[in-house]
């Protein structure tokens, strides 16, 4: 969550990701974060529907 807060506070859409040696290993984008959140939303919806079917 810290990265998201930094991106939001500074208005950054992309942020470099580095390893322990500070070598670039990738770039995290707002779109990447949104994709994960959308996937989680779909997962929660499916689980809610499954649980509702199991209730008497």
Task: Tell me the pLDDT tens digit for each residue of 13-46.
Answer: 999 999 999 999 999 999 999 999 999 999 999 9
pLDDT of residue 5: 95
Q: Using pLDDT thresholds of 50, 70 and 90, give the confidence band for residue 1.
A: confident
All structural domains of the chain, each given as residue ranges with its CATH number in brackets, are 2-54 (3.10.580.10)
**Which sign does the torsion angle of CA 20, 22, 26, 28 carry?**
positive
DSSP codes, 31-48: HHHHHHHHHHHHHHHHHH
Q: Using pLDDT thresholds of 50, 70 and 90, give the confidence band for residue 6.
A: very high
Distance between CA 42 and CA 35 in Å, rounded? 11
Predicted TM-score (pTM) of this structure: 0.71
């Amino acid at each position: 969550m810290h990265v998201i807060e930094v991106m939001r506070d500074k208005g950054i859409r992309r942020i470099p990701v580095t390893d322990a040696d500070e070598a670039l290993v990738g770039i995290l984008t707002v779109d990447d974060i949104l994709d994960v959140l959308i996937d989680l939303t779909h997962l929660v919806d499916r689980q809610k529907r499954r649980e509702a079917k199991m209730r008497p």
